[in-house]
Amino acid sequence: MAEKKPCEWEEDIFKALKKAGVSQVPYVPDAGHSHLIRLVHDDPEMSPIVLTTEEEGIASSCGAWLGGKKSVLLMQSSGVGNCVNMLSLITNCNFPFVTIVSMRGEYGEFNSWQVPMARATQTSFEMMGIEVMRCNEAEEVGSTVDAAIFAAFASDQKIAILLSQQLIGRKEW
């Protein structure tokens, strides 16, 4: 299989969002999601929602569902720690939930402040009852996102998809 170009896997995510009828995409600005965020902003059928903090995205996603809409939250792994208490809303109210998390603190990270939360991201989600799927290769991104969105909205599952730093690309300062 031919290797995908850097933005192709983000376009695969966008196609999965469109296929599932996701209309709201809350996000905290992040370079790891930058191409996907541009695609969402350019689509008149989608509402990008810029957040000041990640836990607002959980409330936004729940509100979207209550209003008959589907939402997928974009965030970076460093923001997952901000969300732990708010994740109880998803569990207690049994909302379907999907978040796509760009990982930092892995694969050649230059910023030591990113490493502790990277180590705790998967466990934090799992402790709060959120299933974790992980993408390390570009070829698996589209099908993983498609499966997660389908499962979440078909059967009220809660799923976090972690996009590895190796997939996204190492940042250098």
Q: What is the mean pLDDT of residues 92-100?
A: 97
Kindly report the average pLDDT of the chain as a whole number: 92
Residue 4 has pLDDT above 60, yes or no: no
Q: pLDDT value at position 1? A: 47
Q: What is the mean pLDDT of residues 119-148?
A: 96
Write down the domain spans for the chain.
15-168
Homologous superfamily of 15-168: Thiamin diphosphate (ThDP)-binding fold, Pyr/PP domains (3.40.50.970)
How much is the pTM? Answer: 0.94
Residue 25 amino acid letter: V
**What distance in Å separates the CA atoms of residue 26 and residue 124, rounded to the nearest whole number?**
20
Q: pLDDT value at position 169? A: 79
Q: pLDDT value at position 19? A: 98
Using one digit for the tens of pLDDT, what is the confidence trace for 49-86?
A: 999 999 999 999 999 999 999 999 999 999 999 999 99
- Which of 102, 106, 83 has the alpha carbon at shortest distance from 158? 83
Q: pLDDT value at position 153? A: 98
Residue 108 has pLDDT above 90, yes or no: no
Alpha helices in 46-164 (DSSP H): 54-66, 87-93, 115-127, 138-155
What percentage of the chain carries pLDDT values higher than 70?
95
Q: pLDDT value at position 6? A: 57
* Cβ within 8 Å of residue 43, ≥6 positions away: 14, 18
Q: What is the mean pLDDT of residues 11-22?
A: 97
pLDDT class for 14, splitting at 50, 70, 90? Answer: very high
